[in-house]
Structure 1
Amino acid sequence: MGSVSGMLRALASGSKHLAIKRFTLRYPEQKLKFVGDGYQFDPKDGVGIVGYRGRHILYHDKCTGCQLCSIACEGIAEAISMVKVDKQYKQNKKGIMPQIDYGKCVFCGLCVDACPFYALFMTDDYELAAYTKEHLIYTPDQLAVKPKYQGTYEIKIDELGAYHDE
C-alpha cells in the first residue's frame, strides 16, 4: 500500500509542474536581458551599487595607475596585473593600467570597490568563452570596449518561481 501512495504523491508533484512555463533558455539564440548597469561602487557613500557582475570595463581617461585594483585582487584570485600602455594620459603619470585574466577572476567585485576614481566597473556582459587561456587575458584596450549586446529575455519571479516571457 505504501508504494501506491508514494507513486500517487510523485504523480501529483510532477503534474503540478505541467502548467508552469519552462525556465530554460535556448542559449545562444535566447539571451538574458539585465536591468540597469553592471556592478559599481560608490566610494563616497562606501556602498556597492547593485548590478550584474560580468566583464569589467575600464575608463582610460579616469585610471591613474594607482594599482589599488590589483592590490585588492592580490589575496583573492591574483587576476589583475598592471601593464604598461602606449598612450599617455595626463592623470596617469606611471603609464600603467590593469589587465585582467578571466581564467583566474572570481568576479567578486573587490577591484571595483577599491577604485577611488570610478575607472573600473563590471558590466552585464557574461559571454567570455575562449578557445585558449591566452584569449581570456583582457588588455587595457580590450577592457575599454563597451558591451555590444543587450539581451532579449528578462527574468521574472512570482509565487510559482522564476520564469521568462517568450
Structure 2
Amino acid sequence: MTEDARFQDGREAPLNLGALDSDDLSVLSALVQDAVFPVSEVTWRPAERRFAILLNRFRWEDGGRDRHGAERVQSVLVIDNVQTVASQGMVREDPEMILSLLQIAFEPEAEPPGGHLMLTLAGDGAIRLKVEALDLSLKDVTRPYRAPSGKAPDHGA
C-alpha cells in the first residue's frame, strides 16, 4: 500500500516536480512565488509548443533557514502544450528588466482539459498562455545560494 508524502518527510534536495491538474498547480505556484528573472530568460518555442523561464526562486520549502539563512536556487519552469502567448508589463527589448513572479493560476475553458495559464507578475505584469492541457514542470538546476537580501520576501500586511 502506498501513502501520500508528508511535508515533514521532505529533505533538503533539488526539486523536480510536475503539474498535470489544479492541485499540482497550486503546489508549483506556491514554490515559485517571489521568483525573480530577467526578461532575457523567458523562452517561447512555438514549433515545440513549449514556454520556459529560468528563474531564481526563493526556497520556501527549505527547512534549514535558521541554520544557513534565506536561500534561492535557479530553477527551470517549463510549460508544454502551449498554443499562444500574450503578455503585458514586459519590455522584451530590455533584456535587463527584472520580473517577479507572484502566482500561477489556471482558467479552464468550457471544454476541458484546455484553458489559460496566468502568470501574475509584480507591478501589474502578466503572461497569459493558452494551453491544450496542463503540463508544467519545475526543476532546480543549480545548488542553492544565499539570497542577496539575506531574508525571506515579505509582502506586509
Same fold (TM over 0.5): no
The structure carrying a bigger strand percent of its residues is 2
Specify the TM-score bucket, using the shorter chain as the normaliser.
under 0.3
**Which one has the bigger helix percentage?**
1
